Amino acid sequence: MANDNKRSAFNATRLTSSTFLIKEFDDIYSEHPYVYAIIIPAKSESVLSSRHGTIILIDTGCGGASNDPNARISSLREFIETVEVTDNDNKPLNGDDDRQGRMGYIVVLTHCHYDHILGVEHFSDSLILASSHYPEFFHNIPEHSLCNFLNIHTPKYKPTLVPHGHTISNRITILHTPGHTPDSLTVYDPTSEQPMLYVGDSLYEYEPIIFPSEGSIVDWFRSVEALIEFVRNQESLLAIDLEDKEDSDVLGTGAVTHRVYNQRGAPRQQGRILLNAGHVTCLEPALTVLQTAKVFIEDVVGGREPVRRRWVKRGEQTVEYRQSRQDRDTGIRNTTGETNSRFSLICPERLHSRRT
């Protein structure tokens, strides 16, 4: 199929043998959301895997409205099913010469903000999962998605709300991680050759971590501390597993080892969990990013970072902080705090006075 003229609002790159990053790279909202696709092959033992396999989609982007007037493909689903991807042997992620959309979908929404749900209506025939942590939050999606604030159409969808610890395909685990919003969740996928943690908007680097009016820094600290503990435990198990494999010489028997790349193209270590966020941050060591982000927010609530900006947003006094203290991971001191701070924060001022 010829796609030469199919300019699209999306592009896709391979992260591992079973995982792709789909970027909505030039959206009119300047959100540049990251959508992830995990391919569960048909031969998998999973009870949820359909006859032709399943794609687990983490989020659905912000609807395909592009700054490029020639971008003809604005539907995430159409992109996945019809646009050839170089990293996928020049085939669409879910389609070939015989048939488009052969694999089924399970959509996991990391939370209901508009830049994660505006593509969801195209998956109304699929299972759509969201957090059951605070079900009342879904009673007013137009408000809580920020669609009302932006005066845009709120997508209609019926999420299946799942508990903390819910598993897909027996191994992919959903963790409730409220903080950014009450419905924020994290997905842990140990099935990829390098285990992945998908954290949505809970944190990322080099763009402000944002708490809307509905956010809670108190909950965020609890969630991030729980994730640090979770990653530590899982990495200990992975280390034991790797030792066992070395003992039994499994790695020496010719098993294919897939290289995992971060955005700078460097291969990553075995036994480490990598963090993928809803924006900007992808394939970074999960434990380090979680710990350093937590230190930065602790510096903010501890009064060790100055307010950089103050304004009214959605009727609330809002403040911005940018990391100026030395980054304990990189050792870089952001002396100005003006540009390129690894971490920054935008939140209603009342939120960070609540940590006690």
Residues near Zn ion (CB under 5 A) are 113, 201
Least spacing, CB of residue 217 vs Zn ion, in Å: 15
Question: DSSP string covering 207-255, please?
Answer: SEEE--TT--HHHHHHHHHHHHHHHHHHHHHHHHHHHHHHHTTGGGGTP
User: Based on CB atoms, which residue is closest to Zn ion, 113 or 166?
Assistant: 113
User: Based on CB atoms, which residue is closest to Zn ion, 113 or 122?
Assistant: 113
Least spacing, CB of residue 212 vs Zn ion, in Å: 7
Question: DSSP string covering 75-118, please?
Answer: -HHHHHHHS-BGGGTTB-TTB-SS-BT-SEEEEE-S---HHHHT
User: Based on CB atoms, which residue is closest to Zn ion, 78 or 201?
Assistant: 201
User: How buried is residue 261: exposed, middle or buried, by Cβ count under 10 Å (0-12/13-18/19+)?
Assistant: middle
Query: 283, 24, 301, 44: which is closest to 170 by C-alpha?
Result: 44
SS3 content of the chain, % helix, strand, coil (to 5): 25, 25, 50
State how beta strands 104-108 and 54-58 pair.
Answer: parallel
Least spacing, CB of residue 322 vs Zn ion, in Å: 19
Least spacing, CB of residue 214 vs Zn ion, in Å: 10
State which H helix or E strand residue 286 sits in: helix 286-301
User: Based on CB atoms, which residue is closest to Zn ion, 117 or 301?
Assistant: 117
Query: 108, 295, 297: which is closest to 199 by C-alpha?
Result: 108
Checking phi first, is residue 280 left (phi over 0); if not, alpha (psi -120 to 50) or beta?
left
**Residue 355 tokens, joined:** 């940590």
User: Based on CB atoms, which residue is closest to Zn ion, 24 or 201?
Assistant: 201
User: Based on CB atoms, which residue is closest to Zn ion, 23 or 113?
Assistant: 113
User: Based on CB atoms, which residue is closest to Zn ion, 113 or 272?
Assistant: 113
Least spacing, CB of residue 229 vs Zn ion, in Å: 24
Least spacing, CB of residue 278 vs Zn ion, in Å: 7
**Residue 351 tokens, joined:** 């939120």
Least spacing, CB of residue 233 vs Zn ion, in Å: 27
Least spacing, CB of residue 323 vs Zn ion, in Å: 20
Least spacing, CB of residue 112 vs Zn ion, in Å: 8
Least spacing, CB of residue 93 vs Zn ion, in Å: 24
User: Based on CB atoms, which residue is closest to Zn ion, 220 or 334?
Assistant: 220
Report how far apart the first and last C-alpha atoms of the chain are (Å, whole number). Answer: 59
**Residues 91, 163: Cα–Cα separation, whole Å:** 36
User: Based on CB atoms, which residue is closest to Zn ion, 201 or 327?
Assistant: 201
What angle, 0 to 180 degrees and rounded to 10, lies between the N-to-C axes of helices 286-301 and 217-247? Answer: 160
CA distance to 8, 61, 110, 115, per residue, from 76 (Å): 9, 8, 17, 13
SS3 state at 314 = coil
User: Based on CB atoms, which residue is closest to Zn ion, 81 or 201?
Assistant: 201
By the 8 A CB rule, do 66 and 74 touch?
yes
Query: 50, 97, 58: which is closest to 76 by C-alpha?
Result: 58
